[in-house]
Amino acid sequence: MNGMNDFLAISNLSFSYSESDLAVINQVNIKIPQGSVTSLLGLNGSGKTTLLLLILGYLLPNSGKIEYFKNQERYSIQDLNGAVGYLPQQENIPFDYPVNDFIMLGRSPRIKLFNIPDDRDYEQVQLIQDFLGLGEFRNKKLHEISGGELQRVRIARTLSQEPSIILMDEPMTHLDIKHKQYISELQKELAKQGKIVIYSTHDPLDAIKNSDYCILLKKNMESFSGTSQVLGKSKIISKYFDMKIEIRNAESLIIHE
């Protein structure tokens, strides 16, 4: 397990897709400790996916930086080969993979070029399948399982990479209440194991109930970062959703016309 003093630091981070565009990501500042869940909260088009891609290292910021501190050493995102796992919201899966083979794809960053999976890779895939309760799907193909089961298999592929930082882009979209609860509990369990979990959502109650920290995003507006508990007691959330929102508790939200 990683040291609980490790953390991800995002400092003065801003990004726009072209020089003529206003900032999609505007002044994000937050320190995310190891062993925590952080939500990215905002309306559609607010920059949640963009911020995830910046943390992944797929996009480069116009200003600011993202650094990971581990064992008192400082790393850039580009230094963290294989240590950041990403679950996209949607993806085109062109082949009808067997479940085992699909999960093994997550080992790609850990397998040297021109090599094949070894015993360590197969053991890790087995461990993840057991952890997520996917044993009954081992011999099935992707078209033979439900949407909720496929989401678990996609998460298994991400976790088989053994990432320290796990990014999930709206992981509960289109899932029924049972599978949404499963994802929420899984995120908390991964945090207990010492992972940094960061996921996007457009549901304020989800963010307040299921995350430790929250980053509020709105296009062309400076971000707000803090603990989810503080967010639940603040009126600032209304500014980011263009409507008056009152949060009574983690189970009750009132939208005022």
Locate tokens 């009152």: which residue? 246
Question: What is the structure's pLDDT at 2?
Answer: 45
Radius of gyration over every alpha carbon of the chain, rounded to an integer in angstroms: 19
- Residue 199 pLDDT class (50, 70, 90 cuts): very high
Question: What is the structure's pLDDT at 69?
Answer: 94
The rounded mean pLDDT for the chain is 89
d(CA 30, CA 52): 14
pLDDT digits (tens, 9 = 90+) for 84-122: 999 999 888 877 889 999 999 999 877 777 778 889 999
Q: What percent of the chain has pLDDT above 70?
A: 94
CA atoms within 13 A on the CB side of 178: 5
The answer, yes or no, to whether residue 248 has pLDDT greater than 90, is no
pLDDT digits (tens, 9 = 90+) for 131-177: 999 988 888 999 999 888 999 999 999 999 999 999 999 999 888 89
d(CA 248, CA 30): 26
d(CA 7, CA 31): 7
Going along the chain from its start, the domains and CATH numbers come out as: 1-80+199-257 (3.40.50.300)
